[in-house]
Amino acid sequence: DAMVIQNPRYQVTQFGKPVTLSCSQTLNHNVMYWYQQKSSQAPKLLFHYYDKDFNNEADTPDNFQSRRPNTSFCFLDIRSPGLGDAAMYLCATSRDGENEKLFFGSGTQLSVL
């Protein structure tokens, strides 16, 4: 089945220790998104790629970076995680960035110790 896959499902890191979260998709969608979601809150868009075009949300901290080396893969790098970065990180795709629905991966729950 075509899908969006996130690894790992749970990630524990130490305060200040860089961490990378990964996402892959077999849907061949043009757009890939990274969202941060904290408990009982709305998902917060961090970045999205339309094909190779990178779009950074204005309020995304510099501590967060992203890479999309090809259509299938996208990575979220957190350079120096703080306690406030503990959250669920959701990767999603859509065929285009307009009226298409989003397909989400299972998410990575990040804990910062």
> What are the residues binding other proteins (CB under 8 A)?
40-43, 45, 88, 90, 97-99, 101-107, 109
Largest CA distance in the chain: 39
Smallest distance, other proteins to C-beta of residue 35, A: 9
* CB-nearer residue toward other proteins: 14 or 41: 41
**Helix, strand or coil for residue 32?**
strand
Output 45 or 79, the one with its CB closest to other proteins: 45
Q: Which two tokens stand for residue 54?
A: 């990178």
Name the residue nearer to other proteins (CB basis): 13 or 102: 102
Smallest separation (angstroms) from other proteins to the CB of 88: 8
Tokens of 79: 């350079």
* Cβ proximity to other proteins, 53 vs 80, nearer residue: 53
Provide, rounded to whole angstroms, the least separation between the CB of residue 101 and other proteins.
5
User: Which amino acid makes up residue 6?
Assistant: Q
Query: Phi/psi of residue 18, each to 5°?
Result: -55, 145
Cα–Cα distance for residue pair 7/109, rounded to 1 Å:
10
We find the least distance from the C-beta atom of residue 74 to other proteins, in angstroms, to be 15
The whole-angstrom separation of Cα 40 and Cα 49 is 26
